[in-house]
Structure 1
């Protein structure tokens, strides 16, 4: 299965004023990012990308966990020119799309594919993306349809949040320093939202949207854990922005822990 290109209906009457932060009306097609195998060479920002795992409120008692491995040689990381913006000091100077440590792949979104019977309603607690040292943090995360999506600006500089589906720019919201966080409901008719910043064009973030809360994003150790899952047989999907999608069938029994693993290679194409 392929994680498809998704539509997004984020522009609503939410009481927020959408302000263009640049003169371009079209967003160029995002290029396939390149990457480096050694995270130590990434010049990563001080705020690390956390593992994203939502703890759902559900009658489910099962757990699904595993590790995402990486084999082969990772593509070389693209250089990012240092910014003259003082707020960007300490930013990564290499494109952090592929982060591999000890053969484990970071920033893989692992989720149960499709609807889950008995899944709880979306949480009112927002999923939060921050802008720190001109970097979106986290890089990859999950959200449940209907759950609030909140974007913060912790930098002392102007950013803009451009939400995209493929090459189509859906909205472009200026976010100056000290502006209150922008909060909007995550729409139900999309599966992947990409955030970019036209002021700092290297900035990227991806939010995978699911109809339930059964998802997790791998950290440096490549591990994922999905809890409170009802017993059943599921298609488990692992998605990476560079290497694409892998799937596996897994059965979890009531109150037990099942395990699954995925392996991506340097030759995989997203």
Structure 2
């Protein structure tokens, strides 16, 4: 009788021990797939953030007239001052002469020609970009409309700093690491008209930004040519500005759909230049 009781107890113990092993061999219950939009019964649905509306594309600029012309240089251009080559490997393509007066075949480059005063209908202004390439500012001279953002880039494999000055007053100083991917944006003071950029690390680097009440301006190319397009019909005062030779002015009348011409002349002696304007 004792032997039978013992056998029953042993069988019971083995059976209990086998239960966990059987459970381990059972397949897990399949996971329930829920839709991203599933809401648990009784729960309040979560409000989804609305997508931000896309910025409207700027309307194409149409209409108005065009002002075209040439900036000339009278006399013999001064010999540019030599610049000692830099030992910085990133500056191998730097200019080896001072770049303020660039004359070729009697034509003057880097003169900003702008319409003075307010213009009733102004075209939208895109950000103005200043890049540092070959240890040189590109472009050297450009105009911006009042309130237009300025983006400063560094495409060189070396450290630069872009210091902005109005007269002798420093208005910003931006240090940029080599090959900076993201440009740095800096505002200009509301009362600024001419801003000079320089690099303290590479002192020969220079650029000029002229702030204008309207976005109608252009910089003369290597052949002295310039073109201002989509200017509303009317009579305007044009100003041609150069960083060392001063400025010249001319009156011009623009007609809808037509091209007006304006020419400017500078000289190294600083004598008063001549300007002419008309419609062709």
Which TM bucket (shorter chain)? 0.7 to 0.9
Unaligned 5+ residue runs, structure 1?
1-55
Give the structure, 1 or 2, with the largest relative contact order (CA under 8 Å, sep 6 or more): 1
Q: Are the equivalent residues in 1 in contact too, given 2:116–2:213 (CA < 8 A)?
A: no
Instruction: Report whether the alignment pairs 1:109 with 2:112.
Output: yes
CA distance in 1, matches of 2:110, 2:60: 24
1:72 aligns to what?
Answer: 75
Q: Are the equivalent residues in 2 in contact too, given 1:136–1:203 (CA < 8 A)?
A: yes
How far the C-alpha of 1:73 sits from its partner, in A, is 1.6
Q: Name the SS of the counterpart of 2:249 in structure 1.
A: strand
Query: Which string of whole-angstrom CA distances, capped at 9 and with x for unpartnered residues, describes residues 161-200 of structure 1?
Result: 1000111222211111133211234444221111000000
1:221 aligns to what?
Answer: 223
Q: Name the SS of the counterpart of 1:87 in structure 2.
A: helix
Q: Name the SS of the counterpart of 2:95 in structure 1.
A: coil
CA distance in 2, matches of 1:88, 1:94: 14
CA distance in 1, matches of 2:75, 2:253: 30
1:150 aligns to what?
Answer: 151
How far the C-alpha of 1:61 sits from its partner, in A, is 1.4
Q: Name the SS of the counterpart of 2:90 in structure 1.
A: helix
2:210 aligns to what?
Answer: 208
Query: Which string of whole-angstrom CA distances, capped at 9 and with x for unpartnered residues, describes residues 190-235 of structure 1?
Result: 2111100000011000011112110000001100100000111111
Which runs of structure 2 are paired with 1:102-251 in the superposition (5 Å)?
102-120=105-123, 122-123=124-125, 125-179=126-180, 180-251=182-253
CA distance in 2, matches of 1:187, 1:168: 11
Q: Name the SS of the counterpart of 1:226 in structure 2.
A: strand
Instruction: Out of 86-95 and 57-66, give the one that drifted further.
Output: 57-66
How far the C-alpha of 1:57 sits from its partner, in A, is 5.5
Q: 1:57 to 1:232 in 2, by over 3 A?
A: farther
Unaligned 5+ residue runs, structure 2?
1-58, 273-280
1:85 aligns to what?
Answer: 88
Find runs of 4+ consecutive structure 1 residues off by over 2 angstroms. Answer: 56-60, 184-189
CA distance in 1, matches of 2:256, 2:192: 30
Q: 1:184 to 1:57 in 2, by over 3 A?
A: farther
Q: Are the equivalent residues in 2 in contact too, given 1:58–1:229 (CA < 8 A)?
A: no
Q: Are the equivalent residues in 2 in contact too, given 1:58–1:119 (CA < 8 A)?
A: no
Query: Which string of whole-angstrom CA distances, capped at 9 and with x for unpartnered residues, describes residues 13-50 of structure 1?
Result: xxxxxxxxxxxxxxxxxxxxxxxxxxxxxxxxxxxxxx
Over alpha carbons, which structure has the higher Rg? 2
How far the C-alpha of 1:135 sits from its partner, in A, is 0.5
Q: Tell me the number of residue pairs that the alignment of Structure 1 and Structure 2 aligns.
A: 213
